[in-house]
Chain A
Amino acid sequence: MRSLPLIFLGVFFTLALSWVGIVLVGHLQLGDLEPASAVLVNQEAEPIAGVFFRDDRTGAYRMGANQPGEPVFPIQLTGSAQRGKRIYESMGCIYCHSQQVRRQGFGSDFERGWGDRQSVPRDYIHHERVMLGTMRTGPDLSNVGLRYSELWQHQHLFNPQITSPGSIMPRYAFLYEVRPISEDRGPSPRAIQIPDAFHPGPGLEVVPTQRAVDLVAYLMNLRQDYDLPEIRRAE
């Protein structure tokens, strides 16, 4: 073990092996996933169960095609929601919130109401930044858009104690503008309701900045409530 090329070859191949195995093969298997309809069809346009079907003539397994005329999922985020994803990223939400529902029986994700089906790779194909998360200091957010209203999200971001007393989530009040109510135009239509105990004071209103609007738009779009061919829903 004295030769530099020998050591180099060894360390090169060991890392190359894991890169090929985990990243490259992972990419080959998952990199070309496309949005799909809830049920796929075979070449005779008959619905099939799951993703693959057996071609009777050749005996080979083939991937089904999307059912014509049916909507395909997941859908691409646009506009405000897409900008909101960047806010989510820059605030470091990922350090306390995951975005993955584990299967029933593994953990308590279903029982906590975080989702009624397991998350699958196809759910994430449109995420420019996949933030599955590794910590649950707060609840999972895969389906947070289904659980709460926009007002709830704004109040919760402005001060989590309004909606979740005792929470250790930081407040994002800096995404909101606290300003005097205009005497000419009256209260802003965009202002959010704040309960008296948390209200900044009489004659003031709390108006979300564009960043807050975007972030809430993103959160409201976090939903895995559509069916995909690979999902076997819990009965």
Chain B
Amino acid sequence: MSAPDPTLMPVGDVPAPAAASITRPGASRRTQLEEAVLPPLVALLLAAVVGDVLILTFGQSPGAVYRLLLDGTWGNAYGFGQVLYKATTLVFTGLAVALGLRAGLFNIGAESQLAAGGFCAALIGLVLPAGFPALLCLPVYILAAAIGGGAVGAVPGVLKARFGAHEVIVTIMLNFIVLALLNYLTSTRLHVPDTLHTAEIRSGRLPRLADLWPAFQGSAANVVIVLAILAMVGLWWFLFRTRRGFELRAVGLQPHAAEYGGIDVGGVTWRALALSGAIAGIGGLNYVLGYKHYYEEGFATGAGFLGIAVALVGRSHPLGIGLAALLFATLSQGGLAVNALVPKQMVDVLQAVVILAVATSVPEVRRLLRMRRGGGDR
């Protein structure tokens, strides 16, 4: 056995650093920007390269396919209008999911909330008489859609706040229940014979962008996009500038600390899910008020689930969600344009790669995926 050295070895004069071992205090705006932008950029490029390889396996030239994809989307007014139309719905569902995520809640129910919002708006449209003042129509429709989606969102919220029921399970189940119920009501009571849709609303139709700029002729893009932009700005303000937003994010980050800070965690929970549902519901107006003027079964199939990807890729930030919505809308519309050269599944795979690559590059998701380790000091 070795004997310990008996002499005391004095301590040198090492200055104590101001903030222990953290480098973040010195982080400049530039490094913050790098941190935010570089990982998703790598992910996107990775997806692009995977896309290249896929395209090559179909015996096509990647350059030609990507060119066709861009020509068919951003390259002409009609394609761009379609991108805007699809992005509008995705902004709403993306914001809805993001709001939930900010409150620590995973809302998988945007799909049915969107449908319920559109359904309620279409119902109101059947009731409102023709010639109802246009200025009054819009608030009525927004309210109806918000109530429709919000009610579907509030159910899991209340169940969670009251009984601790997990919102993921409840929202998934509600998707089935609500969509089945809406389809039942539509196909048994409300549909126009030989179709899957309701009668057209009589008043309060919103103009298409083509009515303002004829170049958009034929595209479904309509002025609901203005509502989407307002929703982005409004949600940003709510989340980052208001007391309620402060409290909501606190609950999402650390529910125990929020409780300690005098925040009603249960109340925030159900209100967040209800608001999330309402936002998704308003997204239904894009189709009902701006495009077809009726509720049709499956009018935006997948947009609710794609909203999850939009929220994750957009890092739950309204601006990011806007960009992510444009990206996914471009892929979706571009998929039609390149359908001549490669099968639709290729674009689906590309979309999945984007989601996987970007999502895993996002710290929030990595944190979710990582197993929680024990505490202690670092």
**Binding partners A and B:** no
> What residues of chain A have their CB less than 8 Å away from a CB belonging to chain B?
none
